[in-house]
Amino acid sequence: AASTNYDINFVRTILGDEYVEMTLDNIDRGKPLGVYATQGEVDMFLTITVNNVKVSFLAFVMGILLSAGTAYILFNNGIMVGAFMTFLFKHGYLKETILTVFIHGTLELSAIVIAGSAGFQLGHAILFPRTHSRLESLRIGALKGIKIIAGLIPVFIAAGFLEGFVTRHTEMPAVMSLAIIIGSLGFIVYYFI
């Protein structure tokens, strides 16, 4: 967010020129979040869901690199989200962005962070085996992490469904968006905490 705020070209480095130009074109047409309507609903649902499951699995598995790999995955995803949100904020669309992106993003981003916690669990098991051998500690940490990842799959399916079928309706009343966002946040808190 800070880099995009001080250097508007930073977003091009992170998201790519093609994506930024498409977003600028969408802004000119009065549909700043038109990216969510570029694919058919089912295609978008499947593409997004598969991608998010891959990212979460990668965030978990990269914990084997003593948690540094997981930190790298989470950092990269955070930079992308921050750059995108700040880019739209600088163009005067923060409210619309929050009310649109977090329809699916509340579940999706929370789940990616939780997948990162599974990766940190894996790295922690290697770094701090306690009274177990490192191999036994790794096995225990991996099993705990796999349970977390398995529990995230329905969350990613729900987030993919929302992104594919609901987020594309950027003209949705704010009250409906907020109801979905608050309901999703409540679900994450209930399900995981």
Q: What was the pLDDT predicted at 42? A: 97
Q: What is the mean pLDDT of residues 73-87?
A: 96
Q: What was the pLDDT predicted at 193? A: 85
Q: What is the mean pLDDT of residues 103-120?
A: 97
Q: What was the pLDDT predicted at 63? A: 97
Residue 82: pLDDT band (50, 70, 90) is very high
pLDDT tens across 17-72, in order? 999 999 999 999 999 999 999 999 999 999 999 999 999 999 999 999 999 999 99
Tokens 């309507």 -> residue: 37
Helices (H) and strands (E) in the chain, counts: 8, 0
Residue 187: pLDDT band (50, 70, 90) is very high
Q: What was the pLDDT predicted at 131? A: 95
Structure-block tokens of residue 71: 């930190």
Structure-block tokens of residue 35: 């990216």
pLDDT tens across 10-20, in order? 999 999 999 99
Please check the confidence at residue 8 and state whether its pLDDT lies above 90.
no
Instruction: Tell whether the torsion through CA atoms of 84, 90, 96 and 98 is positive or negative.
Output: positive
The pTM assigned to this predicted structure is 0.94
pLDDT tens across 115-156, in order? 999 999 999 999 999 999 999 999 999 999 999 999 999 999
